[in-house]
Chain A
Amino acid sequence: MIDVVLWISFVIMCIALIVTFIRLVLGPTLPDRVVMLELMALLSVAFIGLYSIKSGHSAFLDVALVLALTAFLAAVGFARYLEKGGLHDDD
């Protein structure tokens, strides 16, 4: 049973990933994209969780741990950039 659910979950996650990426491409502004990057980090965390279940290796969780702790820094960096007057939209 768990395998089937795993596969279904993976499918769902994949759709989520694709959808997120589409929004990343669509933007339209920098903050939108940054939000999508954030979401991708969260998706990765979830993905890693699923994968560690699937593989039975808890060592992969360390990756998620690091992601959870540090991925938001990129967002903070972008935010700082925006507040300092960087362009938020240079298409």
Chain B
Amino acid sequence: MLLAVLSGFLFACIAPVVHGARPLAKSYYGAGWVLAMLPAVLFLWFASHLRSVGLNGEVILNSWTWIPSLGISLSFRLDGLSLLFALLISGIGFFIIAYAGRYLEGHKDQARLYVLLLSFMASMLGLVLSDNLISLFVFWELTSITSYLLVGFSHEDKPSRLSARQGLFVTMGGGLALLAGFVMLGMAGGSYELSELLSQRELLHDHALYAPMLILIVIGAFSKSAQFPFHFWLPNAMAAPTPVSAYLHSATMVKAGVYLLARLNPGLGGTELWTMILGLVGAFTMFIGVFLAVRSTGIKKVLAYSTVMALGTLTMLIGIGTPTAITAAMAFLLAHSLYKGALFLVAGIIGHSTGSKDFMHTGGFRSAMPVTALFAGVAALSLGGIIPLFGFVAKELMLEAVLDAPLFSAVLSTLAVASAILGVTVAAIVGIRPWYGRLAETKVTPHEAPPAMLAGPVVLASLSLVLGLSAPLVQQWLLGSAITAVHGAPVEKNLSLWHGFNLPLLISAVSLVAGLLLFAVWRGFRRATRFTDLLAKVGPEQWYERAMVAITHVSAWQTRMLQTGYLRYYLMIVLGSMVALVLSQMWTYRDSINLLIDVSDLRFYEVVVAGVLGAAVLMAAITSSRLSAVAALGAIGFTVALLYLLFSAPDLSITQVLVETLTVILLVLVLFRLPGFIKLSPTHLRLRDAGLAVIVGATMTLLLLSVNGTQYFDSISSYFIAESAPSAYGRNIVNVILVDFRTLDTLGEIFVLALAATGVLAMIRFRAEDKDL
């Protein structure tokens, strides 16, 4: 299974080679077919498990160690649920890649598209096959990344870039919540392996972190699956070329969230919180999605919003969690993937063959492109939930589940019925509007699509019909085990095309009529509901936009406040922090700190030297002449040297004298070029700075007084005094320390000097002239 996942990445790597390969060079779409062989093979490989996994309900586990110390492994799990998804991903992937070969024929970035599509497919496969939360998350994020690049495929257009960014931010933002949730889940369950986690339902439900972890995971899933309030990114992601949209929206990425919820249902599901969040949000999303679909006119937009509806439905069903609901969810999932995949490809064909991108500019294409029209119609029927298509099966089950929902049945049912009606309208818009009526004026003369592009819609739409007719078989071979996987136990619910006359059927019939009526007054309906645009102004998309603006503003403000460019403010903050920390700690320990104030042992000449030093320091600080300041530095140098001398440090004293002399020479050499001091700051600022400076100084004084009063241990220097002559053969202990006991310090020190000299040379001799990097 690892190979199944990795092969996608490998193919992605060689895609550019294949794309440019000489035998295929004449017809670039040829590469599409070649590369499509990979998903085809994968599809067949997964299909070969239909008997064992699908029919017999086996679970195949495969594990490769990755980071065992952290409980992260590359473990894969092929059960009904992952098989269903894997088949959808690889199957639809086959058509998409083949389609892309033709759709973007001659496009300069076609090779990159292959790379991205294949990587994306591989990531999706990894996601649905992973049995380890963290590796699942890895693939989860990979799908976000690849989809970002796919959505931004036409990256030279700004809207395209913005949409890609929006999708990325929403899904990644959710991804972060998901990560936190996963970490909590792993902590609560003691493992990241799904196989282990899902069997600990009780433990998880009772865990103190159940609610937060659930909410975090749900946020992650919702953002990916475009649940309200994250639904807005999906239609915007329509900037992508059609094969991309189709792939993203039919089978794959957007369903990742649904997949995750379904996957975790046995472990986390079944609580009121679960049902409440998933059920209500799902239902609301379903309604919003379909409502907005009807309100839109752009071909892809309509399809995208209808996808939102489907995702809402799925979420709602998983939230309800009853056997019927789970069955409905799986059926709906399959149905949606088929018809939506077909319809997106059809949308692409319309765009490709006519140049139209809006339903308002379509009509009457049936004669020019009959095959497309036919299969578009079939897919639309499935979308509308019309018998005998598989969509019908799914919709009936959905209505049944909603009606029997243990919680919030009334709300859910109301929304479900409303959505069913609008769903029919959407189906009509898609299935009727472009094909019938007056022939619309188009940029391109309508023509039938080539086989590579037609293959997808034809097969997928046909499957909608075939599967609908063989619903029980589908359950037996495929959905049954998936349902078991989601529910955590086998389900006694049979899938069939015909349930007899019951309430759901009635609702279906009513909604069919109502939906078609609504289609008839589509324009009017859209006009009548224009008021909802006002709502959009305060809707989640606006939140997103505002957040983006807020980030810019807040960050600019913060930078203005903090990174002012004024060294003195930086110093104020730095030193202020230091003083605050030191003083606060001193205050905390005020009882055990012992300030030593003892002036009894002073000698007058020491006081005088110190006094002159102090006065010189004052002079250096307040003089208005820089030359006086330098002279004051000289005085400081001499007095410091005297202090060192008075306290038994001849080497220091000599060094100080020499360094001071050279410092003065350096300053004098440099000052020649510089202007005199100008009084730059007004008095109050100088007082403020002086205040801070005095506080810093006082802090250092306090520190020193307390350290003078405290000596915890004897100094190690007695060792040097004792060993200098006998072991190091030197009588000047300071020098012996420098060149023998602590050679490394001195070594570092001379390197500092050398570095300073090198820097100085560079500064003086190196003028900024050449700009080459």
Contact = CB atoms under 8 A, between A and B. Distances in A.
B624 interface: yes
Contact of B631 (A24, A47, A70): A24
Contact of B634 (A25, A40, A63, A90): A40
Interface string B603-614: 011001101100
Contact of B635 (A40, A48, A91): A40
Given A44-B642, A77-B668, A81-B668, A63 B650 contact: yes
A51 B628 contact: no
B671 interface: yes
Interface string B660-688: 11001100110110001100000000000
A59 B650 contact: yes
A37 B657 CA distance: 12
Contacts of A36: 631
Contacts of B672: 81, 84-86
A44 B638 contact: yes
A60 to B, nearest CB: 5
B631 A34 contact: yes
A30 B627 contact: yes
Nearest to A34: B631
Contact of A62 (B646, B650, B660, B671): B650
Interface string A60-87: 1011001100110110011011001111
Contacts of A47: 605, 642
A63 B664 contact: no
A12 to B, nearest CB: 11
Contacts of A84: 672
Contact of A74 (B609, B627, B661): B661
Contacts of A53: none
Contacts of B653: 60, 63
Given A17-B612, A36-B631, A81-B671, A74 B665 contact: yes
A63 B616 contact: no
Contacts of A74: 634, 660-661, 664-665, 668
A84 B94 CA distance: 85
B656 to A, nearest CB: 9
Contacts of A13: 605
A61 B642 CA distance: 12
Nearest to A59: B650
A67 B665 contact: no
Interface of B is mostly: helix
Contacts of A40: 634-635, 638
Interface size for chain A: under 10, 10 to 19, 20 to 34, or 35 or more residues?
A: 35 or more
A37 B604 contact: no
Contacts of A87: 627, 676
A80 to B, nearest CB: 8
A21 B661 contact: no
Interface of A is mostly: helix
Contact of B650 (A27, A60, A86, A91): A60
Contacts of A60: 645, 650, 653
A19 to B, nearest CB: 11
A85 B668 CA distance: 12
Given A21-B635, A70-B661, A63 B625 contact: no
B658 A41 contact: no
A62 B657 CA distance: 12
A76 to B, nearest CB: 8
Interface in A12-45: 13-14, 17-18, 21, 24-25, 27, 30, 33-34, 36-37, 40-41, 44
B604 A14 contact: yes
B395 to A, nearest CB: 92
A77 B665 contact: yes
A63 B668 contact: no
Contacts of A17: 608-609, 612
Given A24-B631, A36-B631, A77-B668, A90 B626 contact: yes
B642 A62 contact: no
A88 B625 CA distance: 10
A25 B668 contact: no
Given A60-B650, A63-B657, A78-B668, A14 B605 contact: yes
Interface string B710-726: 00000000000000000
B202 to A, nearest CB: 83
B635 A86 contact: no
B641 interface: yes
Contact of B658 (A30, A51, A66, A90): A66
Contacts of A67: 641, 657
B612 A37 contact: no
Contacts of B638: 37, 40-41, 44
B654 interface: yes
Nearest to B626: A90
B521 interface: no
A91 B624 contact: yes
B84 interface: no
6 contacts: A17-B608, A21-B635, A24-B631, A44-B638, A81-B668, A81-B671
Given A17-B608, A78-B668, 7 more contacts: A10-B605, A37-B635, A60-B653, A67-B657, A73-B661, A84-B672, A90-B625
Interface of A: 10-11, 13-14, 17-18, 21, 24-25, 27, 30, 33-34, 36-37, 40-41, 44, 47-48, 51, 59-60, 62-63, 66-67, 70-71, 73-74, 77-78, 80-81, 84-91
Interface of B: 604-605, 608-609, 611-612, 615-616, 619, 624-628, 631-632, 634-635, 638, 641-642, 645-646, 650, 653-654, 657-658, 660-661, 664-665, 668-669, 671-672, 676-677
